[in-house]
Amino acid sequence: MTMEERFFALYRPEQGKLYRTAWAILGNEADAADALQEATIRAYRAFGQLRGGDVAFSAWMRRILVNTCTQILRKRMRVIPVERPEDLTAHPVTEVDLPLDGDVWDAVRSLDERYRAVVVLRFLNDMQLEEIAAALDIPLGTVKSRLHAAMKQLRNRLNALEARKEGRGVDAV
């Protein structure tokens, strides 16, 4: 088996998950595709340095992808003016804004970028708050306040959605 074949044998089963991880962090599919391509090439170049055998591949590859994505986010955030907390108050929750199929992802994706990134890194990638602060190059206090605000919004959205679903359920009966 050539190195390329070995790499692909390990990589291919992960590709769908990696794609969605990048999409979750970056918020859109075009950037996710670019990030995944870049991360895959980086991983391929460093494949010889993978320690721990084939079982370590999945976590190692995901780490490279998350690093690539947070690098892109850092660059992207640099061009956005420093926020005041009130600027980040996301769109008011209205019927139109509510996710249609109740997916947690649909609720998360509708958050402001800075909220979404923190939520995804914490709950999808299980990163510690300090790690998130370092990855996004923002103070720990900002991570906490964003996470707090994001969770409040998500709670409202998901509760409203559940209530609406229950209403729909009653109608259907």
Partner 1 sequence: MQCEQIQSELIAYLHGTLSPQERAAIEAHLMQCEACSEEANAMRDISDKLSRGLKEWVNEGVCPPDVAERIQRSLRGESRRFTRRRAAAAITAVAAAAAVLLFALSTQPQFAQQVASVPFLGALAAHLLEPDLEIHLDPQQRMTAALFRPQRSVKLNVTAEAEGLKLTVTAAALSDQSLRIAYTLRGEGLTLPEDEKALMPTASTESGPLTCRSLTAEQGRGAIHFQLYCDAAPAGEAISLTVPPLPREQGGTFPSLTATFSY
Which residues in this chain contact partner 1 in the complex, by CB under 8 A? Answer: 3-4, 7-8, 15-21, 23-24, 29, 33, 36-37, 40-41, 44-45, 103-105, 108, 119-120, 122-124, 126, 128-130, 140, 144, 147-148, 151, 154-155, 158
Task: Spell out the residues 6+ positions from residue 19 whose beta carbon is closer than 8 angstroms to its own.
Answer: 32, 33, 36
What's the min distance (Å) between Cβ of 46 and partner 1?
11
What's the min distance (Å) between Cβ of 20 and partner 1?
3
What's the min distance (Å) between Cβ of 148 and partner 1?
5
Please state the φ and ψ torsions of residue 127, each to the nearest 5 degrees: -80, 145
CA pair distance 79, 110, nearest whole angstrom? 21
3-state DSSP assignment of residue 173: coil
Question: Which amino acid makes up residue 61?
Answer: M
Of 58 and 71, which CB lies nearer to partner 1 in the complex structure?
Answer: 58
Of 56 and 128, which CB lies nearer to partner 1 in the complex structure?
Answer: 128
What's the min distance (Å) between Cβ of 166 and partner 1?
16
Of 126 and 171, which CB lies nearer to partner 1 in the complex structure?
Answer: 126
Using the Cα atoms of residue 148, residue 154, residue 156 and residue 159 in order, give the sign of their dihedral.
Answer: negative
Q: Are the CB atoms for 59 and 53 separated by under 8 Å?
A: no
Question: Which amino acid makes up residue 98?
Answer: L
Of 47 and 77, which CB lies nearer to partner 1 in the complex structure?
Answer: 47
What's the min distance (Å) between Cβ of 41 and partner 1?
5
Of 55 and 172, which CB lies nearer to partner 1 in the complex structure?
Answer: 55
For residue 156, how far is the Cα from the chain centroid? 20
